[in-house]
Amino acid sequence: MIRRLAWEHWFAILGLVCAFATSAAAQPAFVPSQAGNTKNQEVVSGSGAAVSVTLTATPRTRARLYSWSARCGAASANVTVTDGGTTIWSSSAAFVGATTVSVTWNPGLAGGLGNNLVITLGACSGGVGTLDVSGDVF
């Protein structure tokens, strides 16, 4: 009788282990926020032209902007951040000049679910503009 209860006990434990292993295998994979989703980039405009970076979100993700920096080769310009076409942050008209200016958000500035974030450096009158963006989408 004692030996029979011991085997029944082990079969019950084995059944529980299998049940937990099966449910764990059915869980969706965890994707780290930075793995393959990082959207860090630098873009340079043509002379006197605006330049932008788009953080593209899929329907069930959010774009997040952590920082941007910009400079103009000549004159000055502004920077705007739009979320799905709506401006959510903007600078003054002469915010960016010949020296590098940067803005950081911690935690990141998040866009709406499924909306693209577009960061735009306005035209640097008569000069080229450089825009560096650090963000991700998850």
In the prediction, which pLDDT does 47 show?
92
d(CA 70, CA 49): 14
Structure tokens at 44: 């340079």
Model confidence at 29, pLDDT cuts 50, 70, 90, reads very low
Residue length of the chain: 138
Rounded to whole angstroms, the maximal C-alpha distance in the chain is 94
Model confidence at 126, pLDDT cuts 50, 70, 90, reads confident
Whole-structure pTM value? 0.73
Which structural domains are found in the chain, ordered by start? 41-137 (2.60.120.680)
Asked if residues 47 and 130 have their Cβ atoms less than 8 Å apart, the reply is: no
Mean pLDDT to the nearest integer, 25-53: 71
Asked if residues 128 and 45 have their Cβ atoms less than 8 Å apart, the reply is: yes
Asked if residues 101 and 122 have their Cβ atoms less than 8 Å apart, the reply is: no
Average model confidence (pLDDT) across the chain: 84
